[in-house]
């Protein structure tokens, strides 16, 4: 349920209302937008007397929210959420590139890629230290050593780090990570989501291979219900009957999510297509659809990559994609 507060209402009056709602067993979320103040009511709102609420002097209107996601709902928070990390903003018209290898492999590799993608305009360095591989016999990532190498790259380049967490038990190792990624395979690992909700780290939440947008938003809701509202959603392709591409990029997820939620939406064209030559057209389509950013896999030597070489761009190719994406962004302004 949301209650729109009349313009000119004092803070004290809003505070009194919040206190009363809390005594009714309902928690509140306030969104002070440019044009309106919206009070979101979370919890069991069935006992709230809507008529009584509607007739309060400070209330403009009251509306029930039918969707199961509340905190993530655009109706709760009409303005775009902007997430700021080390001076880099994502969302609300602020676009960013997150680039780097699928997995951190060596000091030389991560430093070279970091420097090159930074020069091409990437704001964030990505790189997997803990890798969710389909086969237990495949390279599982350098794990704690991988995180140390990412920190080294951060010190050398100043780029904030995005890397995936697979288990709550690894959380202490992620203290210096700037954005924690939840991979597609863990989108519905609810215990992990709850634990991340108790942190104040920005979370990049990837859409599951076979999950719809409502489920993605409910996973965001799990994190937000714990108090962490810094979530970036990521469309990374879904599994369809098509076999020529690794996944199918759901471009429509971008405008649809923008309608449904205030959270920023980025697109990962690398995992969505699985083919380096398709990354550019997919990246351009995502930018044209209004994505708030792109996450792209870049390797200094894709043929030798220990993971996802076929979809990895060289630094030169990334530079070309970034320029083309910026042209599209200019064109749709």
Q: Which residues bind ligand PEP (CB under 6 A)?
A: 102, 128, 132, 183-185, 206, 236, 271
Contact, 161 vs 178, CB < 8 A? yes
Residue 131 C-beta: closest distance to ligand PEP, Å: 7
Would you state the structure tokens that stand for residue 204, as one six-digit string? Answer: 């990049």
80 contact, one of ligand PEP, Mn ion, none, CB 5-8 Å limit per kind: none
Which of 105, 164, 195, 308 is the binder for Mn ion (CB under 5 A)?
Answer: 308
Closest contact distance (angstroms) between CB of 304 and ligand PEP is: 17
Hey, which residues between 107 and 166 contact Mn ion (CB under 5 A)?
Answer: none
**Min separation Cβ 332 and Mn ion, Å:** 28
102 binds Mn ion (CB under 5 A): yes
Query: Minimum distance between the CB of residue 254 and ligand PEP, rounded to whole angstroms?
Result: 16
Phi–psi pair at 239, nearest 5 degrees: -80, 125
Q: How many residues bind Mn ion (CB under 5 A)?
A: 2
Q: Name the token pair of 19.
A: 């206190």
Residue 236 contact partner, candidates Mn ion, ligand PEP, none, CB within 5 to 8 A by sort of partner: ligand PEP
11-70: contacts with Mn ion (CB under 5 A): none
Cα dist from 271 to 43, 105, 171, 210, 297, whole Å: 36, 19, 25, 14, 8
The nearer residue to Mn ion, 90 or 102, going by C-beta atoms, is 102
The item of ligand PEP, Mn ion, none sharing an interface with residue 116, based on CB under 5 to 8 Å by kind, is none
Could you tell which of Mn ion, ligand PEP, none binds residue 6, using a CB distance below 5 to 8 A set by kind?
A: none
Q: How many CA atoms lie within 13 A of 17 on its CB side?
A: 27
Helical (H) or strand (E) element with 255? helix 253-260
Helices (H) and strands (E) in the chain, counts: 10, 14
CA nearest 295: which of 268, 265, 276, 328? 268
Residue number of the CB closest to Mn ion reads 102
312, 275 Cβ separation under 8 angstroms: no
Give whichever of 48 and 98 is closer to ligand PEP, judged by the CB atom: 98
Find which of Mn ion, ligand PEP, none residue 70 binds, CB within 5 to 8 Å per kind.
Answer: none
Q: Which is nearer to Mn ion, 43 or 274 (CB)?
A: 274
The 3-state secondary structure of 258-311 reads HHHECCCEEECHHHHHCCHHHHHHHHHHHHHCCCCEEEEEECCCHHHCCCCHHH
Q: How many CB atoms lie within 10 A of CB 312?
A: 25
Of 80-99, which residues contact Mn ion (CB under 5 A)? Answer: none
Smallest gap, in angstroms, from Cβ of residue 13 to ligand PEP? 46
Check residue 250 for interaction with Mn ion (CB under 5 A).
no
Other CB atoms closer than 10 Å to residue 316's CB: what's the count?
Answer: 11
The distance of closest approach from Cβ of residue 221 to ligand PEP in the complex, given in angstroms and rounded to an integer, is: 19
Residue 328 structure tokens = 């599209």
**Judged by CB, which is closer to ligand PEP: 48, or 295?**
295
CB closer to ligand PEP out of 70 and 126: 126
Contacts of 330 (CB under 8 A, 6+ apart): none
Residue nearest to ligand PEP (CB): 183
User: Whole-number minimum distance, CB 169 to Mn ion, in Å?
Assistant: 23
Q: Which is nearer to ligand PEP, 116 or 271 (CB)?
A: 271
Q: How many CB atoms lie within 10 A of CB 238?
A: 18
Helix (H, G, I), strand (E, B) or coil at 131: coil
Please report whether residue 268 would count as binding Mn ion according to CB under 5 A: no
Binding site for Mn ion (CB under 5 A): 102, 308
């Amino acid at each position: 349920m949301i209650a729109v507060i009349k313009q000119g209402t004092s803070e004290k009056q809003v505070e009194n209302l919040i206190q009363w709602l809390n005594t009714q067993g309902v928690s509140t979320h306030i969104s002070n937008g440019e044009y309106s103040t919206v009070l979101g009511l979370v919890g069991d709102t069935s006992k709230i007397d809507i008529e009584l609420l509607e007739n309060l002097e400070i209330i403009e209107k009251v509306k029930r929210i039918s969707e199961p996601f509340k905190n993530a709902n655009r109706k709760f928070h009409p303005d775009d959420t902007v997430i700021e990390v080390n001076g880099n903003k994502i969302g609300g018209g602020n676009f960013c590139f997150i680039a780097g290898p699928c997995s951190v492999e060596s000091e030389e590799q991560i430093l070279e890629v970091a420097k090159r993608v930074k020069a091409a305009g990437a704001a964030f360095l990505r790189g997997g230290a803990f890798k969710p591989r389909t086969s237990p016999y495949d390279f599982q990532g350098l794990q704690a050593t991988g995180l140390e190498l990412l920190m080294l790259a951060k010190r050398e380049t100043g780029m904030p780090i995005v890397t995936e967490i697979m288990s709550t038990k690894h959380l202490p190792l992620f203290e210096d990570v700037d954005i924690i990624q939840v991979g597609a395979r863990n989108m519905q690992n609810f215990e992990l989501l709850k634990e991340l909700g108790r942190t104040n780290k920005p979370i990049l939440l990837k859409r599951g291979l076979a999950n719809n947008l409502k489920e993605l938003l409910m996973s965001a809701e799990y994190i937000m219900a714990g108090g962490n509202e810094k979530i970036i959603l990521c469309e990374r392709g879904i599994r369809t009957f098509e076999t020529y591409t690794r996944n199918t990029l759901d471009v429509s997820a971008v405008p649809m999510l923008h309608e449904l939620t205030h959270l920023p939406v980025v697109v990962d064209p690398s995992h969505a297509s699985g083919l380096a030559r398709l990354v550019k057209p997919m990246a351009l389509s995502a930018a044209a659809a209004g994505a708030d950013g792109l996450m792209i896999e870049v390797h200094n030597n894709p043929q030798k990559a220990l993971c996802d070489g076929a979809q990895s761009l060289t630094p030169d190719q990334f530079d070309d994609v970034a320029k083309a994406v910026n042209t599209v962004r200019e064109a749709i302004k």
